[in-house]
Amino acid sequence: MSTAFVEIVENSTTLVCCGSGGVGKTTTAAVIAMAAARKGRNSVVVTIDPARRLAHALGLDTSDLGDDPRAIDPALWDPENKRVENGSMSAVMLNAKSTFDSLVEKYANNPAQVGRILDNTFYKNISAALSGTQEYMAMEKLYELHESGAYDLVVIDTPPSRNALDFLDAPNRMTKFLEGRAFRVLTAPARGGMRLVTRAARVFLRTTARVLGSEVLDDIVEFFGVFEGMYEGFHHRAAHVRDLLAHESTLFMLIASPRRDALEEAEFFAEQLREKNFPIAGAIVNRLHPHFTESLAQATRLRSETFTERANENEATTLLAELYANLASFQEVAQKERDHLVRLEELVSPGPVEKIPFLGEDVHDFSTLRLLEDTLFSKDTEADKIAAIPHAQ
Amino acid sequence: MRLVMDLSAFFESRVCIVSGKGGVGKTTLSAVLAVMAASSGQQVLLVDVEGKSGLSNAFGANPLEYEAVTLSQGVFARNITAEQALLEFFQDHNLNWVSKRLQSMNLVDVIATAAPGIKDILVLGKVKQIERRGTYDLIIVDAPAAGHTLTFLNSAAGLIDAVRVGPVRTQARDVQEMLTDPSRTQVILTTLPEETPVNETVETAEALVDLKIKVGAVLVNGWYSPCPAATVDEIRAAAVTAGTVMPDEEAQALADASSFVNMRHRLQQTQLARLEDMLALPILQLPFLFTADLGRPGIDTLTKALETAITDFETEAPAVTLPSSDGKTA
C-alpha cells in the first residue's frame, strides 16, 4: 500500500490536493513536498491560508513575502542530513491579488494600461469578492511554477470552496467573466457603433446605478473598457492552464477525515474526477480513531455491560466497567470509520487509500510533519502505526 | 465581567448567528440550538446561507428550499442564498425587469464584484426582514465558514462606506443596526478543543468585539471524557479480583484505549484553558459522540448535553449574590 505513495512522491510532477475544509489538506501537501525533497527531488508546495504555526514553520509568515517561492533550509526538513544528493524544498503562500497583478503586467500593452487597471476599484474588488478568483489564481500559480522548470514536483493545496471541484472550472469561468460580453453589449454605445441597443441599455444602466450608486457603475464600465486589449492574452493563458490540469502527468490526491460530511465530499470529488477522466493518485484519510484490538466491538460492549452491572461490587469491577466501556466506544467508532471508507476505496481504486491515525497533536512544525511522513510512508501495518504514536503507550 | 447564563438568556437575542471553522460541527450545533429552543416552546427558523445540505441531512429531510419547511416540532428551515436575495431585492423595489435581466445576462457576478458585500448584505437584509415580521421567536443562522463569517458580518459597515445613497445603503444601515444591537443579535462561536480552531475562535471573538457585535457563548465540540488510568498489570490484577479470565491482548487493549483517551483529554484541557484565559465568555463543552452518525439521535444527545452544560455552568459561575446551594459540581 505505502509503496504506491513512495512511487507518487518519487515520480509525479504535478499533484493537486483536494478535499473539504478542516481535513489537514495543507499539512498533507507540505508532507508530500517534504518527502519528495528528502528523496532528492526539487519540490515546491503552494499553500492556501495555512494555520499560523505551520506558516511559521514553512517560513511563510513574514508580511513582505508576496507570492514567490521560498527555499526552506534543509536543516529543517532533513536534520539528519540523509537526503539523496540535491533535494530541495520550497514553499509559497498563494496571494490571489499579486498573482493577478502579475498577469495584468504580463499581458498589458503598456505601463499606462497596467496603471489604469491596478487603480480601478472594480479590479481591486475582484480578488476578494469574485467567487472563483482564488481557485483560478491557484491554478495559475501551479502553471507558472510548472512552466518555470525549476521544480520536479509542484504540490498544490486547493482553496476551500463550496463545490470543491470549482478550481477545475475556474479558468473557464474566469475568462468568461473577464470577457464581459453581456456588459460590452450594454456599454457598446460608449465605444461607438451598435447604437440599436442604446435606449433599453441606457434605462437598464441608469436603473442599476440608482440602486447601486453611479460610481460603482462607472468603475465597471472603465474596467471592461481598459481590459479589452488584454483579453486575448488572458484567454490564451487560461487555455494553457486548462491543458496542464488535463494533462496525464497531473495527479489528484484526495484528502479527507473520517467525518461523514468530509468523506461524502471526497467521494463526490472522486466521482467527478473519474467522470472527467482526471487521474486520481490516491486518498489520504487523516485523524482516524485508533484500532486497538482485533476482537469484536460487540464482545467488548457485552463485557462492559456485565461489569457495569457489577460496578458496585468492588474497586476492580468499577475499574473494569469504565475501561471496557471506553474500549468498546473506540472499537465501535473505529469500525464505523473503516466501514465508511469502503466506498471511497472503491472510487479511488486502484489508487491507495492511506489511513492516518490521530497523531496526538496538531501538525504545525517540522518534527510533527516528519512524524506524519513516517506514518504515511512506513510499510508498517495500521496497528504498528498506532503503537508508534507518542503518548499513546 | 460576570458570566451569567440560563436557558432563556441563551436566546435573548432573536437572531443567533452560529459561526465556526470548517469541520468543527457548526451545522450540527446550529441544529442542536434549534432543537433546544424548540423544546422550550419556541418557534425556531434555521437559516442556511450557503446552499449546503448539512442541515437537512441532520434531520433526514430533503434539501432545503427558499420556502421554509418543517424539520421537527417547532423547527423550521429554509435557505437564503445571495442570488435569490439579490433578485428578490430588485423585485421588492418594483424592479422586476432589472432582476430578470441581471439573471438572463449573467450579470449577477459583475454586480457582486462591483459592490463587494452586496450579496451578504442582501442575505442579512432578508434575515432582518424575517426578524421584523416576528413570525419566529428565534432565527438561527448557520453562518459561512469562519474566515468568511467576519466578511459576512462586516459587509454592512463596508457598504455604508462604499455606497452613498439609495436602497442598498438603507438596507446596509438597517442590517448594521440589527447586528450591533445585542438585544436583537448575538453570535455563538463553535470550535474544537484543538490549537488551530482555538486560535481562530479567539481571533473571531476579538474581531466581533471591534465590530460591536455581541458574542453570547463559545461551544466546544468533540470533548473526550477521561477514563481511569491503569497499567496492564493493574488491569490483570483487577481481573483476578473480579474473578474473570482476561487474555493479555485484551488487557493491553484496555490499557492502550485508556491511555489514548486520557492523552486526548489532556491535550483538550490545555486548549480549553487557553480559551478560558483569552476569552471572558461562557464556554460550554459538548461530548464527542462515538456512536452516532449525527442524525437525529445525535442531535438529541447533544441537546441534552448542552442543557446540562448550561445548568452546570450556572451553578459554577462566579455568581455575584447567591453561593451555589445545591451542592452540584461539574
Test the B interface: residue of A224, A301, A327 with most B CBs within 10 Å: A327
Is the predicted pLDDT of residue B245 greater than 60, yes or no? yes
| Cα–Cα distance for residue pair A205/B186, rounded to 1 Å | 38
How sure is the predictor about A123, in pLDDT bands with cuts at 50, 70 and 90?
A: very high
CB contact under 8 A, A208 and B111: yes
% of residues, chain A, pLDDT over 70: 87
Q: Would residue A223 count as lying in a domain? A: no
CB contact under 8 A, A180 and B163: no
Nearest by CB to residue B116, choosing from A129, A323, A360, is A129
CB contact under 8 A, A130 and B113: yes
**H helix or E strand, kind and range, residue A355:** strand A353-357
Report the relative pairing of strands B44-48 and B75-79 from DSSP bridges. parallel
Q: Would residue A66 count as lying in a domain? A: yes
Question: Complex ipTM, two decimals?
Answer: 0.86
What number of CA atoms fall less than 13 Å from residue B128's CA on the CB side? 22
| Cα–Cα distance for residue pair A268/A275, rounded to 1 Å | 11
| Cα–Cα distance for residue pair A289/B177, rounded to 1 Å | 46
* Cβ-based neighbours of A251, under 8 Å, separated by 6 or more: A8, A12, A14, A15, A16, A279, A280, A281
Name the amino acid, one letter, at B7: L
Is the predicted pLDDT of residue A353 greater than 60, yes or no? yes
**Chain A residues near residue B257 by CB distance under 8 angstroms:** 292, 323, 326-327, 330
**Chain A residues near residue B244 by CB distance under 8 angstroms:** 320
Strands, sheet with B44-48, edge to edge from the N-terminal-most edge strand? B69-72, B75-79, B44-48, B138-142, B15-19, B185-191, B215-223, B283-287
3-state secondary structure A217-283: HHHHHHHHHHHHHHHHHHHHHHHHHHHHHHCCCEEEEEEECCCHHHHHHHHHHHHHHHHCCCCEEEE
Test the B interface: residue of A261, A332, A359 with most B CBs within 10 Å: A261
Query: In this predicted structure, what is the pLDDT of residue A342?
Result: 92
CB contact under 8 A, B117 and A129: yes
CB contact under 8 A, A211 and B290: no
Better pLDDT: B50 or B300 = B300
CB contact under 8 A, A260 and B52: no
Nearest-Cα distance to chain B for A152, in Å, is 31
Beta carbons of A162 and B52 less than 8 angstroms apart: yes
Beta carbons of B261 and B227 less than 8 angstroms apart: yes
Single out the residue of B29, B33, B28 nearest to residue B44, CA to CA. Answer: B33
How sure is the predictor about A84, in pLDDT bands with cuts at 50, 70 and 90?
A: low
Q: What is the DSSP string of B185-216?
A: EEEEEEE-SSHHHHHHHHHHHHHHHHTT--EE
CB contact under 8 A, B254 and A180: no
CB contact under 8 A, B230 and A323: yes
Nearest by CB to residue B241, choosing from A216, A314, A327, is A314
**Chain B residues near residue A361 by CB distance under 8 angstroms:** 267
How sure is the predictor about A164, in pLDDT bands with cuts at 50, 70 and 90?
A: low
Q: Would residue A166 count as lying in a domain? A: yes
Q: Would residue A310 count as lying in a domain? A: no
Single out the residue of B247, B205, B197, B203 nearest to residue B222, CA to CA. Answer: B197
**Chain B residues near residue A362 by CB distance under 8 angstroms:** 194-196
Span B174-197, pLDDT tens digits: 999 999 999 999 999 999 999 889
Is the predicted pLDDT of residue B215 greater than 80, yes or no? yes
The topology under which CATH files domain B7-225+269-316 is Rossmann fold (3.40.50)
Query: Grid coordinates representing A189?
Result: 454605445
Better pLDDT: B57 or B18 = B18
**Chain B residues near residue A290 by CB distance under 8 angstroms:** 256, 260
Query: In this predicted structure, what is the pLDDT of residue A161?
Result: 64
Instruction: Please provide the average confidence, as pLDDT, over all residues in chain A.
Output: 84
CB contact under 8 A, A319 and B290: no
Query: In this predicted structure, what is the pLDDT of residue B1?
Result: 40
% of residues, chain B, pLDDT over 90: 55
Nearest by CB to residue B227, choosing from A219, A293, A322, is A322
Test the A interface: residue of B110, B225, B240 with most A CBs within 10 Å: B110
| Cα–Cα distance for residue pair B171/B166, rounded to 1 Å | 9
Query: Grid coordinates representing A236?
Result: 490564451
CB contact under 8 A, A20 and B294: no
Query: In this predicted structure, what is the pLDDT of residue B156?
Result: 81
Q: Would residue A319 count as lying in a domain? A: no
Q: Would residue A302 count as lying in a domain? A: no
CB contact under 8 A, A180 and B244: no
How sure is the predictor about A392, in pLDDT bands with cuts at 50, 70 and 90?
A: very low
Chain A residue with minimal CA distance to B99? Answer: A208
| Cα–Cα distance for residue pair B11/B45, rounded to 1 Å | 13
For A170, the domain range is 2-177+231-292+335-388
Better pLDDT: A75 or B76 = B76
CATH of the domain at A347: 3.40.50.300
**Chain A residues near residue B20 by CB distance under 8 angstroms:** none
3-state secondary structure B96-148: HHHHHHHHHCCCHHHHHHHCCCHHHHHHHHHHHHHHHHCCCCEEEEECCCHHH
Overall average pLDDT of the A301-308 stretch: 96
Nearest-Cα distance to chain B for A249, in Å, is 31
User: For chain B, which residues make up each domain, given as ranges?
Assistant: 7-225+269-316
CB contact under 8 A, B239 and A307: no
* Sign for the pseudo-dihedral over CA of B205, B208, B210, B215: negative
Number of independent structural domains in chain A: 1
**Chain B residues near residue A364 by CB distance under 8 angstroms:** 195-196
Is the predicted pLDDT of residue A369 greater than 70, yes or no? yes
Q: What percent of the residues of chain A are helix, what percent strand, and what percent coil, each to the nearest 5?
A: 60, 10, 25
**H helix or E strand, kind and range, residue A284:** strand A280-288
Nearest-Cα distance to chain A for B319, in Å, is 34
Q: What is the DSSP string of A289-347?
A: PP---SS-HHHHHHHHHHHHHTTTT-HHHHHHHHHHHHHHHHHHHHHHHHHHHHHHHHH
CB contact under 8 A, B115 and A49: no
Chain A residue with minimal CA distance to B247? Answer: A295
| Cα–Cα distance for residue pair A329/B257, rounded to 1 Å | 9
Chain A residue with minimal CA distance to B192? Answer: A22
Query: In this predicted structure, what is the pLDDT of residue B146?
Result: 58
B111: Cα separation from own chain's centroid:
30
Overall average pLDDT of the A188-212 stretch: 64
**Chain A residues near residue B50 by CB distance under 8 angstroms:** 162
Chain B residue with minimal CA distance to A215? Answer: B163
Overall average pLDDT of the A181-193 stretch: 60
User: Hunting for cell 513536498 — which residue is that?
Assistant: A33
**H helix or E strand, kind and range, residue B308:** helix B296-316
Q: Would residue A226 count as lying in a domain? A: no
Beta carbons of A269 and A19 less than 8 angstroms apart: yes
Instruction: Please provide the average confidence, as pLDDT, over all residues in chain B.
Output: 86
| Cα–Cα distance for residue pair A216/A204, rounded to 1 Å | 14
Q: What is the DSSP string of A62-96?
A: -GGGTT--EEPPHHHH-TT----TT-EEEEEE--H
| Cα–Cα distance for residue pair A192/A188, rounded to 1 Å | 6
| Cα–Cα distance for residue pair B175/B196, rounded to 1 Å | 31
Name the amino acid, one letter, at A209: A
| Cα–Cα distance for residue pair B241/B243, rounded to 1 Å | 5
| Cα–Cα distance for residue pair A171/B63, rounded to 1 Å | 29
Is the predicted pLDDT of residue A2 greater than 80, yes or no? no
CB contact under 8 A, A323 and B235: yes
Is the predicted pLDDT of residue A53 greater than 60, yes or no? yes
Nearest-Cα distance to chain A for B62, in Å, is 16
Q: How many helices (H) and strands (E) does chain A have?
A: 18, 8
Between the CA of residue B59 and those of A108, A331, B123, B299, what are the distances in Å? 53, 26, 24, 9
CB contact under 8 A, B166 and A212: yes
CB contact under 8 A, A362 and B195: yes
Query: In this predicted structure, what is the pLDDT of residue A334?
Result: 92
